[in-house]
């Protein structure tokens, strides 16, 4: 009925929700990766331990996912320069929007934040427009 990739995606989504819940209930912090990384990169951050553990857990989950389902971690069909530019634009947008897709989409929406709802709607619309433009331009393959 479902391929194993659907089960991996379902498991990943459940783990993201569980991690966000644990961080919120245990530490009173939002588990948006932009905020987690931002705190790690700032000098003098007192709560580095949980941030490092969080990032290490994300890396370990990626390794585990690739061991369970080898195709769950794939290479981007886009050239490396395009991926790098896209990453910089996402980082800039994350700072502008006061959070990332995970922070707004998982944590913000679950707290019924209007600002997060507006951010997620913007992410989805922008993503849809970007996909349409890339498809019209012929894609990356």
Spans of all domains in the chain: 1-74, 76-141
C-alpha neighbours within 13 Å on the C-beta side of residue 87: 8
More confident residue, 98 or 139: 98
| 3-7, 46-50, 86-90, 93-97: the lowest-pLDDT one | 3-7
* Per-residue pLDDT at 96: 80
* Per-residue pLDDT at 1: 57
> pTM surpassing 0.75?
no
Tell me the pLDDT of the chain averaged across its residues.
84
* Per-residue pLDDT at 99: 80
Considering only CA atoms, which of 36, 6, 26 is closest in space to residue 103? 36
* Per-residue pLDDT at 128: 92
* Per-residue pLDDT at 107: 85
Chain-centroid distance, C-alpha 94: 11
């Amino acid at each position: 009925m479902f391929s194993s990739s659907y089960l991996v995606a379902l498991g990943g989504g459940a783990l993201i929700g569980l991690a966000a819940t644990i961080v919120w209930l245990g530490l009173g912090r939002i588990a948006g990766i932009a905020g987690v990384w931002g705190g790690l990169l700032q000098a003098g951050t007192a709560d580095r331990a949980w941030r490092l553990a969080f990032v290490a857990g994300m890396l370990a989950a990626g390794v585990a996912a690739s061991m369970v389902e080898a195709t769950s971690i794939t290479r981007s069909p886009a050239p490396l320069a395009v991926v790098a530019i896209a990453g910089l634009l996402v980082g800039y947008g994350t700072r502008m929007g006061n959070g990332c897709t995970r922070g707004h989409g998982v944590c913000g929406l679950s707290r019924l934040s209007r600002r997060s709802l507006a951010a997620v709607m913007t992410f989805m619309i922008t993503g849809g427009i970007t996909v349409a433009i890339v498809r019209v331009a012929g894609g990356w393959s």
